[in-house]
């Protein structure tokens, strides 16, 4: 019988739902030594927290995260709050001996992230950051292909994350649902929110990044702030593009914006190697495009692989070949791997320490955009 593993989640926004869905469903599909139990959800507004608890099946509600951390019946804390609260909660959770699953990005900046790493390492508690796109089956399959050497030497890595939801100048900043526009809560704009995903996948697939050259823009300079009611300066980057050099000698090109009219969550990546190339697109997430130069000449071309067979990553746990799974399953896979890591003693990534690398790259990107100079990842 799997052992119960009690989750206390702090925050209940969009990500709270994605994570709760993963905890609620993982044991139906994966055979694990631990079974997550939705023990408590914590948020300041008691009525909203209770409504969330009722909808998702949490057993109890807290309105003060410190009380949640003090509870003996909580094994792991899931931090789903705005970014400016990650550090304080994570350090306190580590000191309370709780395992931590922290929403991305790890922190507001690398200095904060370093403190969080030290806290979890000192306490010896399990930790992971929710960079979920690694665990979309087609992306995990790309990793297997790259690691097998099929691409040969890698020349180029290209990634985009394009959205269009902040184009209206009437959209306020700050508060529930819109804290991503408020630099005091988010730390940065698309760099920490979207490029961080692209960077995490990139360094997982293609190794470390040594230096970057970036530009950012804030198209709407002032917005009404929901917390103060006043029109205030916008401090986040609305768009960011950067070039980089990977340690393996390949060149990287990354772009993210919330001003690409028509694109809702278009995360794409492409890797060009000496022998083969790979392309992936979040809007068609169960497909992986693969081109192999070694194919017979006249038949050579891009293959569109439907990543739904039982021998594709994670897919043996779902339906039958040919039937696709969606965005939400990347979170289910992350919980499965995290719990497996607890049982085996081989922690699933990205751990806080691994996610700190992404944070350092984001810091270098923002520093380069400010100075206009190529910047080493520190
Ligand atoms: C922003 O709109 C957002 O929800 C990010 O915060 C998520 O991390 C990303 O996966 C989808 O877009």
Q: What is the pLDDT of residue 156?
A: 99
Matching residue, tokens 């631990």 = 34
Alpha helices in 174-270 (DSSP H): 183-186, 190, 196-206
Q: What is the pLDDT of residue 155?
A: 99
- Give residue 266 CA to ligand 1 midpoint distance, Å: 11
Smallest CA separation from ligand 1 atom 9, residue? 194
Following DSSP, what letter does each residue of 304-343 receive, concatenated? Answer: EEE--STTSTTGGGSSSTT----THHHHHHHHHHHHHHHH
Cβ neighbours of residue 202 under 8 Å, at least 6 residues apart? 157, 159, 209, 246, 252, 254, 269
Q: What is the pLDDT of residue 108?
A: 98
DSSP letter at 173 equals: B
DSSP letter at 2 equals: P
Per-block average pLDDT, block size 10, for the chain (378 residues)? 97 95 98 98 97 98 98 98 98 98 98 98 98 98 98 98 98 96 98 98 98 98 97 98 98 98 98 98 98 96 98 98 97 98 97 98 98 97
The burial of 260, by beta-carbon neighbours within 10 Å (0-12 exposed, 13-18 middle, 19 or more buried), is given as: middle
What residues flank ligand 1, with Cβ below 6 Å?
A: 14, 163, 193, 197, 265
Cβ burial 241-255 (10 Å sphere, 16+ → b, else e): bbebbbeeebebebb
Q: Interior CA angle at 336 toward 330 and 339, to 5°?
A: 140
Q: What is the pLDDT of residue 161?
A: 98
Give the number of other Cβ atoms within 10 Å of residue 293's Cβ. 12
For residue 103, give the ligand 1 atom closest to its CA.
Answer: 8
- For residue 46, give the H/E element and its range: helix 46-56
- Give residue 183 CA to ligand 1 midpoint distance, Å: 16
Rounded-to-integer distance, Cα 98 and Cα 276, Å: 44
Q: What is the pLDDT of residue 78?
A: 98
Smallest CA separation from ligand 1 atom 10, residue? 194
For residue 104, give the ligand 1 atom closest to its CA.
Answer: 8
Q: What is the pLDDT of residue 118?
A: 98
- Give residue 274 CA to ligand 1 midpoint distance, Å: 33
């Amino acid at each position: 019988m799997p052992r119960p593993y009690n989750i206390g989640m702090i925050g209940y926004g969009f990500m709270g739902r994605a994570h709760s869905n993963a905890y609620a469903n993982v044991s139906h599909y994966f055979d694990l030594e631990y079974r997550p139990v939705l023990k408590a959800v914590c948020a300041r507004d008691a009525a909203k927290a209770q409504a969330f608890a009722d909808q998702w099946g949490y057993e109890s509600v807290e309105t003060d995260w410190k009380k949640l951390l003090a509870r003996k019946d909580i094994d792991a804390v899931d931090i789903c709050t705005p970014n400016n609260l990650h550090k304080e909660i994570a350090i306190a959770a580590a000191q309370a001996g709780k395992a931590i699953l922290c929403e991305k990005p790890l922190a507001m900046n690398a200095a904060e992230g370093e403190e969080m790493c030290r806290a979890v390492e000192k306490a010896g508690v399990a930790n992971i950051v929710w960079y979920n796109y690694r665990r979309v089956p087609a992306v995990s399959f790309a990793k297997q292909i790259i690691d097998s050497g099929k691409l040969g030497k890698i020349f180029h890595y290209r990634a985009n994350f394009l959205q269009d939801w902040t184009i209206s100048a009437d959209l306020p900043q700050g508060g529930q649902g819109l804290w991503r526009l408020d630099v005091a809560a988010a730390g940065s704009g698309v760099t920490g929110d979207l490029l961080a995903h692209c960077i995490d996948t990139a360094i997982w697939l293609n190794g470390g990044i040594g230096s970057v050259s970036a530009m950012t823009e804030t198209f709407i300079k002032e917005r009404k702030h929901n917390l103060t009611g006043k029109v205030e300066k916008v401090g986040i980057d609305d768009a960011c593009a950067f070039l980089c050099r990977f340690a393996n000698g390949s060149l990287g090109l990354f772009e993210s914006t919330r001003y690409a009219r028509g694109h809702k969550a278009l995360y794409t990546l492409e890797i060009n190697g000496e022998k083969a190339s790979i392309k992936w697109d979040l809007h068609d997430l169960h497909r992986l495009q693969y081109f192999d130069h070694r194919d017979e000449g006249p038949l050579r071309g891009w293959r569109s692989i439907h990543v739904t067979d039982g021998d594709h990553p994670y897919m043996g746990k779902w339906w039958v070949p040919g039937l696709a799974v969606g965005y939400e399953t990347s979170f289910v896979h992350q919980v499965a791997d995290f719990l497996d890591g607890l049982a085996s003693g081989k922690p699933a990534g990205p751990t806080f320490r691994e996610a700190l690398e992404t944070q350092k790259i984001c810091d270098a990107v923002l520093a380069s955009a400010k100075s206009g100079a190529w910047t080493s990842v520190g």
